[in-house]
Structure 1
Amino acid sequence: MGAGHGQELVLSQAMEQLEMFKPVSKWQVTLSQPSALENVVDQAIRVAVSGRPGPVVIAMPDDVGDLDFQWQRRVRPSAQYPRHRSAPDPSQIQAARQALSKAKKSVLLAGGGVHSSGALKEVAALARKLGAPLVTTITGKGVMAETDPQVFGVAGTMGNPNANVVVRQADLVFFIGCKAGQLATFGYDCPAYGVTTIHLDIDPEEIGRNFPDSIALVGDARLGLAGLLAALDGDSLAYQWDLEALRQKGRQWYDEMTLRPQVLGEPLKAQAVTRLIDEAMQPGDMVVCDASLPSGWAAAYLRLKEAGRYYLAPRGLAGLGWGAPAAVGAALARPHAKRVLLFAGDGGYAFSNQEMEVMVRLKLPVITCLFNNNALGWIKHVQLARYGDNYISSDFNHIDFATVSRGFGARGYTVNTLDELREALAKESDPQGPALIDMRTDEYETPVLRSVSAESAY
């Protein structure tokens, strides 16, 4: 809707809607006449699935929607992603090959683009060929099973410190299908300055943005990796990683963080809670995380047992309330999945807890694991670092979400001990419809590795 008489009267719906969508979508258009609908929809599909995929917006004014229109049956453009695959420049493939051959400690850092490209087999083949460790971004989680001896988990600010140690020790980091952004690179400190980098991505604007000297492989992840594997065929690579020592260090960190004894009467530690959920996971379970700290708990402490896109999280980590509707979408998109496990905090879940009605009505097997600490945890941690005990609007009264869920017609559990959590998870091993497990967790625990300060908080 454009400017006009309605805007002058300040009608609530008379805003510049397309301007509002521009920062978060690839393409925006207003449908001005019904006869253009087919062409507009076709173009929207093409834009959405070309290059780096993303949402598009079609605005249809009420008066246009009221007009008669005869839809013509014709072949629609493919909505499959990637719509077109492009391979990197062969000369750059050779440059990457030479760099990998010279390196003594290469590491692969894989992002969500590997999932989108369907390049899981190629990533695994390259890791085997190189004998190199693999770490991931949050959205790249699951490109290989995290129980694989060459996989060291999620790197970056919301990952695990052992993955960052691996990246720090590398003399070459290969970014695959990721932006090499702030979270994944620990505020651009991992890899260290001067380390050789290779960057394979579908979007040329991302390559060199944060690591200017990267060897640029512009193209589809699957085609790019296939070309690189062919170039490396027959090459003998002698790396100097002691993977067993790294694995031992990772196991030690995981046990130290997740096996701390619970003090009776005190809130649960989210690390221990996530370990129990990890142990209760079954093949095919989908994991959906709401924004903020729940995404970090699952990223760092949940270990996916099989390769595939079984983990979904909002990449920017700031869109509170995303989790519940995303869990509905995941359950509908994968009806064969026995369960969808939703990780959410009480602050974020309060934005969209009404989605429980949809889950009940559609009998969706969504099990919400609610980290309830009576606070907006991330905000409170930032305020603590900046202002001491001067908290502003980050604490609120306790909400009994188990009772709220039962009011919607779902099953609700209140959990104060690890034994109670273990029992609730066992009861929901084969759910018929949704349930919520309200876990009373410690408000001062955080998965964020960087010390939060006025300069580094975000």
Structure 2
Amino acid sequence: MAEALKHLGVSHVFFMDAILRPTLVEMEELGIARIMAHAEKSAAYMADGYARVTGRVGVCMCQSVGAANLAAGLQDARLHRAPVVALTGKKEAMLQYRNAYQEVPHAPLFAPVTKASMAVDEPAALPHLLAQAFRTAGDSSPGPVHLDLDGLGGERIEQGDLTGAPVPDPALGALPRHRPHAGDAVITAAAERIRSAKRPVFVVGAGALQVGAQAALRKLAEACDIPVATSLGGRGILPTDHPLHIGTVGSYSAPPANRLVSEADLVIFVGCHAGDQPTHAYTVPAPGTPIVQIDLDGQEIGRNYPDTLPVWGCPAQALADLHDQLGSSLAPRQDWASHAGGVVAAWREEMRPHTTSDATPIRVERLCTEIASALPENAVLVADTGYSGIWTATVLDLPHAGQTYLRAAGSLGWAFPAALGAQVGAPDRPVVCFSGDGAFYYHLSELETQRRWNIPVVTVINNNSGFGQGVYKVRGHYGDRPGNPDEINRFGPTDFAAIARDFGVKGIRIEDPADLAPALERAIAGRKPVLLDVVTDIHPRAPEPWQP
């Protein structure tokens, strides 16, 4: 097992004891780092962050009784299309279906959150199924795969003897380099749709980033004057200060993107599933809008919009081929592009009083602006879900092509462990985690893991002592009724800087906005584990999405 993982290019495994202990011993000799977490979900999130930033398969592991927790941690990887292989132990066959201590069926737990869940019941099956797990995790639309190993900690597989077992193909350890190409006929048909459109717009998702389509998208967008919106997962495909970048679209968006996508007479989805989140419950674009959808996963093309021209194949190749057909044959669309740029510029000007505010408690808009200014050109920003996702997707700029944005697909508390996994996967890049205090409570015990491994993530806590996203919704439900709405979504206050120091991580509490810039600059440049506990105002509302 250890030799196979080494052959597949696995540099780190993330686990909860007790699983595959002899294998873990072998890994040390082979140079594979063994990152023990404090919760199975944390281990899964670390493997997820590692996979997203490296483009390689992340590995997480736990024993039988932790399988349910590990499965829960794979939800985000499944939603985002991250390649992860999860290994669990299971009690041997003679103990199954007999009320064995701490044992429940694992396959039903993993079915909703994996592409496949496979039982490894004998050692002879291990080489084949391990290779197949990695192949499945990275192929087509990537995602998690589960291997259930015989033995509480997988020991019945470890104790087996194999003679002449084949080593897996090293290429299976990463996302495929060679992908199916869209045919000439569909490229020509898509080019014709784009050629006849007066107000086309791109909506780009994580699938485009996974295939490295950044350069191809930018080249085509600039040649054809086509504005670019992104899903949360696609953010960063184009620098956010680019004249054609119109922002994140859907439910977690600022007003300009939804408005402009609604004005479009053709929407080109690229590596985007077009689910309810990036389409604001299938209203942006409106049903009936002509669509071109480019995706490696043919099952997703046309799933949610009827008038869809399918382009099944590698998004990077398809965009390059479209440029070859369209680059010099289109009438200028400067008016449409200028209109889009004007809408975005006007909204940015509206936000300026908030992004430059000196108010205390600190406004989150000012915090996001200071983080954007401090991020190096090759930084990785890891954001949690809820308001953390909305604030960072709308107000926090990523102006450099070398910057990466990773966000929780919905699992509150994901960001901090995922940032640790991303940092060990990209040790030469500065990683900054943006988390609300409500999210950070989930896995703050991983501060000990960060200190133990000296992982130089800078964690920024938006500390407003509550779930800010729901404050006014709860009060609205109360109306004039007497009672205490704060019991539903307020907590704290908590000094996370003091907690970090108790764990051995440098903790800095910030209450004055003037202190943000120097603290961020020093923390990022220091390349040490640091937590910045920023006391913010819970009352400012994140940008609301425009809706038709």
Q: Determine if the TM-score, normalized by the shorter chain, exceeds 0.5.
A: yes
Q: How far did 1:82 drift?
A: 2.8
Output one character per residue of 1:171-211: Cα deviation in whole Å (capped at 9) or x when no partner: 11111110112121122221133322111111122111211
- CA shift, 1:291, in A, is 2.1
SS in structure 2 at match of 1:60: strand
Q: 2 CA distance for matches of 1:451 and 1:129?
A: 28
1:195 is the counterpart of 2:280: no
Amino acid at match of 1:223: Q
Query: How far, CA to CA, are the matches of 2:454 and 2:306 in structure 1?
Result: 50
Deviation at 1:90, TM superposition (A): 2.7
Partner of 1:24: 113
- Residue identity matched to 1:375: G
Q: Are 1:143 and 1:309, in contact at CA under 8 Å, matched by a contact in 2?
A: no
Structure 1 unaligned segments of length 5 or more: list them.
453-458
| C-alpha distance 444-123 of structure 1, shift in aligned 2 (>3 A) | same
1:334 matched to which residue of 2?
426
SS at match of 2:288: coil
The corresponding residue for 2:156 is: 64
- Taking the aligned partners of 1:416 and 1:4, their CA distance within structure 2 comes to 60
Partner of 1:74: 167
Q: Which sits farther off after the overlay, 60-69 or 357-366?
A: 60-69
Contact 1:104-1:238 at 8 Å conserved across structures:
no
Where do residues 162-201 of structure 1 align in structure 2 (5 Å cutoff)?
A: 162-201=256-295
After TM superposition, the structure 1 stretch with the greater mean CA deviation from structure 2, 245-254 or 101-110, is: 245-254
Distance 1:279 1:66, change over 3 A: closer
Give 1:95 shift.
1.7
Distance in 1, matches of 2:544 and 2:378, equals 29
Measured after TM superposition, the shift of residue 392 of structure 1 is 5.1
Hey, what does 2:413 align to over in structure 1? 321
Report the equivalent of 2:101. 11
Q: Cα–Cα, structure 1 residues 372 and 52, in superposed 2: closer, same or farther, change >3 Å?
A: same
Note the C-alpha offset of 1:255.
Answer: 3.9
- Comparing both structures, which one devotes a greater share of its residues to helix? 2
Equivalent of residue 250 in structure 1, options 320, 344, 358: 344
How far, CA to CA, are the matches of 2:166 and 2:509 in structure 1? 53
Contact kept in structure 1, 2:254 and 2:545, CA below 8 Å: no
From 115, 120, 143, the equivalent of 1:54 is 143
| Structure 2 unaligned regions, length at least 5 | 1-89
Structure-2 separation of matches of 1:392 and 1:212: 45
- Alpha-carbon distance in 2 for matches of 1:451, 1:200: 25
- In structure 2, the partner of 1:115 is 209
Give the distance between the partners of 1:381 and 1:8, measured in 2 at CA: 50
2:388 to 286, 294, 303: 294
Which residue pairs with 1:155 in the alignment? 249
Q: Deviations over 1:243-270 (max 9, x none)?
A: 3454344233234335237575x42221
Q: 1:110 is matched by which residue type in structure 2?
A: V
Indicate the residue corresponding to 1:343 in structure 2: 434
In structure 2, the partner of 1:371 is: 462
Q: What's 1:132 paired with? A: 226
CA contact (8 A) 1:257 1:272 kept: no
8 Å CA contact 2:267–2:292 kept in 1: the answer is yes
Distance 1:140 1:66 in 2: 40
CA positional deviation for 1:156: 1.7
* Paired residues of 1:368 and 1:436 also in contact (CA < 8 A): yes
Which residue is 2:453 aligned to?
Answer: 362
Cα distance per residue 1:42-62 (max 9 Å; x no partner):
111111111100110101121
What is the correspondence of 1:399-414 to structure 2 with a 5 Å cutoff? 399-414=494-509
The answer (yes or no) to whether the contact 1:105–1:240 under 8 Å persists in 2 is: no
Identical amino acids, percent of aligned pairs: 29
Distance 2:301 2:475 in 1: 36
Letter in 2 for 1:35: A
Query: 1:415–1:438: 8 Å Cα contact kept in structure 2?
Result: yes
In structure 2, the CA distance between the partners of 1:198 and 1:67, relative to structure 1 (3 Å rule), is same
Asked whether the equivalents of residues 120 and 308 of structure 1 are also in contact (C-alpha less than 8 Å), the reply is no
Aligned residue pairs, count: 447
Instruction: Note the C-alpha offset of 1:379.
Output: 4.3
How much does 1:5 deviate?
Answer: 5.0
Distance in 2, matches of 1:86 and 1:204, equals 11
Q: What is the letter of the counterpart of residue 167 of structure 2?
A: R
CA RMSD of aligned residues (A): 2.4
CA distance in 1, matches of 2:158, 2:229: 52
Q: Is the contact made by 2:423 and 2:456 (CA closer than 8 Å) also made in structure 1?
A: yes
Task: Measure, in 2, the Cα distance between the counterparts of 1:165 and 1:87.
Answer: 33
Structure-1 residue corresponding to 2:71: none
Shift of 1:37: 0.5
Cα distance in 2 for partners of 1:382, 1:46 equals 45
One-letter code aligned to 2:467: L
Corresponding residue for 1:455? none
Tell me, yes or no, if the aligned pair for 2:127 and 2:166 is still in contact at 8 Å: no
**Residue in structure 2 matching 1:395, options 484, 487, 490:** 490
Deviations, residues 136-175 of structure 1 (Å, cap 9, x unaligned): 1111111111122111221222122112222122111111
SS state of the match for residue 344, structure 1? strand
The amino acid that maps onto 1:171 is D
Counterpart contact for 1:115–1:308, Cα < 8 Å:
no
